[in-house]
Amino acid sequence: MTEKIIRIGTRDSELALWQAHTVQKKLNDLGYKTEIVAVKSQGDIILDKPLYELGITGIFTKTLDIAMINGQVDIAVHSMKDVPTALPIGIVQAAVLERANVLDILVHKGNLEFLESNGIIATGSLRRQAQWLNKYPNHTVVDLRGNVNTRMQKLKDNNWSGAVFAAAGLERINLKPETFIDLDWMIPAPAQGAMIVVAMGNDNFTIDAVSQLNDIETEICTFIERQFLRTLEGGCTAPIGALAKYNESDDVIKFQGVLLSLDGKQKIEVNKLVPIEEWKKTGFHAAQEILENGGNEIMNELRKHLKPNVN
């Protein structure tokens, strides 16, 4: 084994560091030497603007991309749902780790009566906002930004009824409280619950090392979901949900996709069961179905309100 030290770039939030340390341990167990390099991202610094107003879908990944291109780090570890579907030139997907919990959850304050009346729900995600308003049109949704710890604190400090989180993020750093409910009706973000490791395409040593961490089932399912997102031309801020699951007993992929208007009043869903050998075009065909069933109009309306993807 060569002596090269693989430098792992990460944001410095608790969750990002957990993800980086998880990859570090896996690489160390394979006999590789590693070190962690923490880098602050604009998404962590600018907390007073909703993400979609910043006009950047890859805001959490951009800083690390630049650090990698500049040769300061060898790999970057991300929550895959934060990563734009088109990676910067020169950067490649080296591995997708086995997926964790895909669900969104509602963290509340011990009383769920508001579900039957008027509630105030916090989320920084337009996808969660639109799906929530579709199901609970009488509720108010307020913006919630910051890392997981910050958002949990803001929920405590405000008069909100609850806030929506990705279950995986809270579970990874043991922040999941007892006062939560699974939102199994809410279709998650494409690639939610999965972690991706990216590297420079010309760094064969690092790619060979990291590719050993790849989980093929997660790689296929997240590919389908991100293909669906890319075909709809939605940055990761648009109200688009997608979930692909492999059913081993039938050897099929079950796919659910959804596109909504910002207010949640319009909702177009697609459900598919596809033989595993046809997986490569599943996301594309599902997105085409949505676009033909009124999705084009919704996407055109969304583009008027959302800043363009500058990644």
Task: Give the neighbor-by-neighbor strand order of the sheet with 140-142.
Answer: 140-142, 120-122, 162-166, 104-108, 180-182
Q: What's the chain's length in residues?
A: 311
Say if residues 80 and 229 touch (Cβ distance below 8 Å): no
Distance CA 289, CA 95 (A): 30
Q: Which of 44, 65, 74, 82 is catalytic?
A: 82
Closest to 120 (Cα-Cα) out of 110, 108, 131, 104? 108
Distance CA 130, CA 187 (A): 11
Count the alpha carbons within 13 Å of 216 in the hemisphere toward its beta carbon.
2
Instruction: Read off the tokens for 36.
Output: 């962690």
Distance CA 284, CA 169 (A): 28
Instruction: Read off the tokens for 231.
Output: 């075909």
Q: Where are the alpha helices (DSSP H) in 236-295?
A: 282-290
Tell me, yes or no, if 82 is annotated catalytic.
yes
Distance CA 286, CA 75 (A): 32
Distance CA 81, CA 78 (A): 8
The catalytic site residues sit at 82
